[in-house]
Amino acid sequence: MTTQPVQKNDTLEVTFTDLSHDGAGVAKVKGYTLFVPGGLPGEAAEVKVIKTKKGYGFGKLIKFIETSEDRVEPPCEIFDRCGGCQIQHLNPKGQAQFKYKMVTDALERLGGLKEIKVHPVLTMDHPWAYRNKASVPVASREGELIAGFYQKRSHFIIDMDHCLITDDTVDEVIQEVKRIAKDSGIEPYNEETHKGILRHIIVRVGKQTDEVMVVLVTKTDELPFRKRFIKELPEKFPQIKSIAQNINKKRTNTIFGNETRILWGKETILDTIGSVKFAISPRSFYQVNPEQTRVLYEKAMEYAELAGKETVIDAYCGIGTISLFLAQKAGQVYGVEIVPEAIEDARKNAELNELTNVTFEAGPAEEVIPNWYKQGIKADIVVVDPPRKGCDEALLQTILEMKPKRVVYVSCNPATLARDLRVLEDGGYKTIEVQPVDMFPQTMHCEAVAKIEL
């Protein structure tokens, strides 16, 4: 029986070769993997082993022996505790290089795709204050209402006054909601006891319109002091156009419940990406970085190579963001999304933009698209923008049967992108190129657009 090369409480000198999915430094000790928060690739450090498992372990930094030239001092004072960002200690050049490597490694190791052209990551000039939305859980600590993001790998809330990657207006409105809730004595929700009233504060802003929406998620039907919220919030922030209450009575980690009430103002706020307008409701999925979303969608449009007469299917269409971009240049666009409320929003957004060449249907893409195919709807181009788990296997098989001349894959997870590209390649398609886009600077996430052809 072979023993592990490291034991708990060992002190070792290691060199970091990579970053894990949650931003920890990765080191190898005689083939055994050690994850150490704070380490960056190329750095050497003295670490203490704090936990071991069969194939890997966890360590704690004691001191650096050699540091990376890409290391910077994180500007956020709660960076070491908050789970919102993982790589503020890596400069923009280092972040771009790491994300490029993350995409190419996934394609090569998981998809066996070694000859694909992967372009340098498209980054932001100012990679701060980009988020147009924040959803912060609320709790009580020492009798005081707090709200902020969860600590890394826990449900312990780090009270937060300001988030450096969130729009300043969003931050300021959250603080005002906290003030009103505290002054009114509203009881924060307690996950353990399932008691209390206020669960989450959600604020979103239209980056191009400055319109603001506030959503208060409660465990109870009634929101005490609701009149204070609808009086004081718009008085301090005239750009607030909508205040809503969502009711979630379940014992769950899911943020939203099924019932939403508009307490004050409009049902939606407006924003634009490029020339396309979007009406955003309290539960709408809308990309949180519209500046980079425009970059992403323009690349998807470029890869689609639309001449004006094509039939396009947009799987996982959400509120119609990509569909409406494509409809500006396509003959006909069909969008499908499993969330009925999102399809309602998509139809409204088509009307808002006076686009009549787009049809939306609610349901699972892997069921709706085969039905369309049976009805004679054959796509020239299929665009997929799936969740992190990637495309459903049935959808990929339908694409292979339908044989569109081109597939544009918008991905938020390089691992499932690589897996799905492998399926398409095995079915006769060729991946032409991949463009990574940094939608979430300071975090481990990287989006990418792939151009695939028969």
Active site residues: 412
348: its two tokens: 């409204």
Q: Around Cβ 269, how many Cβ atoms within 10 Å?
A: 25
Which stretches of 172-308 are assigned E, i.e. beta strand?
Answer: 198-205, 212-218, 240-247, 259-265, 269-273, 276-280
CA gap 352, 76 in Å, rounded: 40
Q: Around Cβ 51, how many Cβ atoms within 10 Å?
A: 11
Q: Which position has the token pair 């290089």?
A: 97
Give me the long-range contacts of 16-23 (CB less than 8 A, separation at least 24): 16/40, 16/41, 16/42, 16/43, 16/44, 16/45, 17/41, 19/87, 19/98, 19/444, 21/444, 22/86, 22/152, 22/153, 22/444, 23/86, 23/87, 23/444
Burial profile 70-109: b = 16 or more Cβ within 10 angstroms, e = fewer: bbeebebebbeebbbbbbbbbebebbbbbbbbbbbebbee
Q: Residue 224 carries which DSSP code?
A: T
Q: Which position has the token pair 């969860």?
A: 150
Q: Which position has the token pair 């020339």?
A: 275
- Beta strands 276-280 and 198-205: pairing type? unpaired
83: its two tokens: 């789970």
Four-point Cα dihedral 271, 450, 313, 299, nearest 10: 40
139: its two tokens: 């709790």
Q: CB of 158 within 8 A of CB of 149?
A: yes
In 3D, which of 419, 420, 396, 410 has the Cα closest to residue 446? 410
392: its two tokens: 């459903």
- DSSP assignment of 277-338 equals EEEE-TT----S-HHHHHHHHHHHHHHHT--S--EEEEES-TTTHHHHHHHTTSSEEEEEES
Contacts for 293 with CB less than 8 Å, ≥ 6 apart = 273, 287, 321, 439
Q: CB of 399 within 8 A of CB of 373?
A: no
In 3D, which of 423, 253, 415, 389 has the Cα closest to residue 316? 389
